[in-house]
Amino acid sequence: MGTLYVDKLDPQSGTALEIGSSGDTMTVPSGATFGVAGTFQNNVTIARVWCLLNGSSFAITDSFNVASATDNGTGDYTITIDTDMGSANYSAVVDPARGTGDAILGTNIVSRAAGSLRIETCRDDSTKTDAANVSYAIFGDI
């Protein structure tokens, strides 16, 4: 396989550049740029941070742009973001997986900062409980 070096690619027509063929096509919106390791710098539709956290044994199963996680107590977790968001004004999507005996499990965002997100996982009676797993995705500007 060869290497292609270019300074700039522009679409011949339309507003998007398509790269690839036969079902492996990636569409790059007009104005988006690639950074290191193929990440989009200007595309806010891509999660800037994501994490799968095992709430029972407290371990990060897998993550992107997460420096660490802290167990603050039962059902109380903080993730520290590796490359900070541009501000605390980002969208955080958090989904807890129920543990044995939990009928309904919800989350509350306790605090958010450019470099961290703290959440609680609670049963339907508001009792904090450790979730089997917690999935995080954060969208916004870096």
What residue segments make up the domains of the chain, in order of their start?
A: 1-43, 49-139
- Output the CA–CA distances (angstroms, integers) from residue 82 to 3, 18, 29, 67, 117, in the order listed: 30, 31, 26, 4, 12
pLDDT value, residue 54: 92
The residues of the chain scoring below 70 in pLDDT are: 1-44, 101-102
pLDDT value, residue 38: 47
CA-nearest of 99, 80, 68, 90 to 142 is: 90
pLDDT value, residue 141: 87
pTM for the full predicted model:
0.70
